[in-house]
Structure 1
Amino acid sequence: MTTPDVTIRGGGIFGLAVAWAAAKRGAKVRLIETKAIGAGSSGGLVGALSPHVPEQWNDKKAFQFDSLAMGEAWWAEVADASGLPTGYARLGRYQPLADDRAVEHARSRAEEAKTLWQGRFRWEVVPAEGEFVPQSPTGLMIHDTLTARIHPRMGTAALVEAIRARGGEVIVGDAEEAGPVVWATGVAGLQALSEDLGKPVGNGVKGQAMIVGLDARDRPQVFATGLLIVPHGDGTTAVGSTAENEWTSPDTTDEQLDAVHARAAALCPWLADAPVLTRWAGLRPRARSLAPMLGEWPGRPGHYVANGGFKIGFGMAPKVGEVMAALVLEGRDEIPEGFRVEASLKKRIRSEE
């Protein structure tokens, strides 16, 4: 094996995105994953690439918008380089509106979106009618055209082959590190970082999801509070997910997933008779700041962190990869202050919006 210019630890979406961005810059890349590609939350099922609401703009929302906007070209390049499908499609999202107040807020945000989303994508209130649309008490729903989907397992497999096509190494097992090291090791990485810094910087939150046998591949996904329904291009539909701070087993599904399934069928009756094909449970890495944790590992020169994707890792991945590769290989720091490790040393964990 040749000596790499940069080593990435972790074969989840952040590690793969950083490796791909570095390989595109011509660097010799070595990615080391000790268990399996997508062994953590990146091996899940849902794959919703969706934005926060277009209001109260901040660095996190701006970064996320940029990443989602670049996603179509980014994933197309991965597919071209690898020769594999990724499951990416920008088909938008429906959100039912519960009452008149929700409708009023949605219409106000539609005006904000015209500016904040730069006229490139729409957030609009439309009638909740047609095939594969959610039940809505008001008969209205939000339709945004920024939201996209990815098939997580297809996407990670395609990234592996794209990295290799650019001359990078992807090693499952262990190998020597060389050059700067980027730690993108999910929940285990948050634990290691917390121990090293002597203060918790994040934790793991359990999620559960399922795949059902329903073909709605050309339809927008559906979002309601705590519930995602994402049609995939292979003729299946993902239903999720739970967010559990306490659990008995991190990788076992239980009645909480059954409750999610029941809620999904009530919201979208066309799901009711779809057979359950696959169930999944795993831990998502959540930083205390609730933003991706990027940048230098404090007190460890030559070591960097790319962690804390939580529920938005796949959507954030294109820009995470680019800014981390720029930092590590070029010394160019474009990371928002709220994304730095130090931000998670200061923040208290709170519920995501």
Structure 2
Amino acid sequence: MRAWSAKFNEQKSTMCSADITIYGAGAFGLTAALEALKRGAKVQVIDPNGVGFGSSGGIVGALAPHTPERWDAVKEFQLDSLLLSRSYWPQVEQTSGLSTGYGNLGRLQAIPNDHQLELAHLRTSDAQTLWRGLAEWRVIPVTDAQGWAPDTPTGWLVHDTLSARINPARACTALAAAVTAKGGEIVAHAVPKGKVIHATGVWGLNEMSKRLGHEVGNGVKGQAILLQYDLPNAPQIFTGGVHIIPHGDGTLAIGSTSERYFDNPQSTDELADDLLARAITAMPQLSDAPVLKRWAGVRPRAATRAPMMGADPDRKGEYVFNGGFKIGFGIVPLAAQRLIDLVLEGRDTIPENFKVEASL
């Protein structure tokens, strides 16, 4: 992975003055930029590696909720952001003129045994209350899935209507186009001006850990497979730890692994092969689908496993927006609003578990 190219005071500006400078043109940096622009700020985004270079440029794009039980502020936040996504991503598409691949098509999960079936029924009633009637968690027979369902010994599936899909790389491209359409600028190098937001993924977590003298987060490698398989209006499937995501462009993504220790962050290996094999075992109709791409990247995970948002602990006027890990695209529409509340208006509406100090 290419390194960030220079210290801030060595960068040459090609920009006019900005109210906010954002380092990182991934999902977090671009959504923060768009939110600030909507509120009238001048914004420059700096990324020497280009738009969506890191894990934000992946292929899976599963926007899936936590189970509706043992409710807490983090699950409430995720619910609100997934509901907001229903209007947020179509607005990005309207502003940019580009597809994000978003579709609120739900998810099917195999129920492997009677104990899990009992839990699934209990969660049905919990979802009615916790999801406020805005989405459903239902137990349905496999026959209702009309052939698009994983093998399940019980003959039953969970169908939730809150889950959605997005095409991560296309979403980043659309976000970037929306940022420039709103008057923001995205450049490789510039002198930082105004308040500064660091949305630099794994690089940022590593830099912050070194600066503070202890680990505040790390990177977790993921591998995924992209197939040619045209089922654009089908729900995603989760079975046996594997996500199967039909996209709207005639492709289907299978993901993903979680690797704490690795040598090459961008190489695929037998773990990707195993993902594909497990997906085909669950869904034999995928066996003849051509493989279009094998993808690997490193996702930023803060120490709390929740996103890290708020003021940098030892840099006045600078902020951190990082640690999306597996739920980044699902929570970022609302997270960007909350961060910009703080940066532009001084209002702290960030959940306690998301705050920078929670990972310190």
The match for 2:77 is 63
Determine the C-alpha separation between the residues in 1 that align with 2:205 and 2:343.
20
1:147-166 deviation line (CA, Å, top 9, x unaligned): 00111111100000101111
Are 1:46 and 2:60 counterparts?
yes
- 8 Å CA contact 1:226–1:242 kept in 2: the answer is no
Does 2:351 align with 1:340? no
Q: Is the 8 A contact 1:132 1:270 kept in 2?
A: no
Whether 1:303 and 2:318 are equivalent positions in the alignment is yes
Structure 1 CA distance for aligned equivalents of residues 241 and 139 of structure 2: 20
Deviation at 1:2, TM superposition (A): 2.0
1:35-85 C-alpha deviation (Å, 9 max, x unpaired): 121111101000111101111111111111110000011011101110111
Q: Is the 8 A contact 2:231 2:246 kept in 1?
A: yes
Aligned-pair CA distance for 1:301 = 1.0
- Name segments (4+ residues, structure 1) moved above 4 Å: none
Q: Do structure 1's residue 88 and structure 2's residue 95 form an aligned pair?
A: no
Instruction: Look up the SS of the partner of 1:30 in the other structure.
Output: strand
Query: 1: distance between equivalents of 2:125 and 2:240?
Result: 22
Provide the rounded CA distance (Å) in 1 between the counterparts of 2:278 and 2:344. 47
Map Cα deviations across residues 279-335 of structure 1 (whole Å, 9 max, x no partner): 100100011101000001102110100000001100011011111111101111100
Name the SS of the counterpart of 1:138 in structure 2. coil
Equivalent residue for 2:28, pick from 14, 23, 26: 14
TM-score by length of 2: 0.94
Unmatched tracts of structure 2, length 5 or more: 1-14
Q: Indicate the SS of the match to 2:44.
A: strand
The answer to whether the 8 A contact 1:207-1:243 is kept is yes
Aligned to 2:264: 249
Tell me the SS of whatever aligns to 1:300.
coil
Matched residues, number: 344
Identity %: 52
Q: What amino acid does structure 2 have at the position aligned with 1:39? A: F
Which of the residues 206, 221, 224 maps onto 1:209?
224
Q: Is 1:268 matched with 2:283? A: yes
**For residue 121 of structure 1, what is the aligned residue in structure 2?**
135
Deviation at 1:224, TM superposition (A): 2.1
Which residue of 1 is the match for residue 247 of structure 2?
A: 232
Which amino acid in structure 2 is aligned with residue 212 of structure 1? L
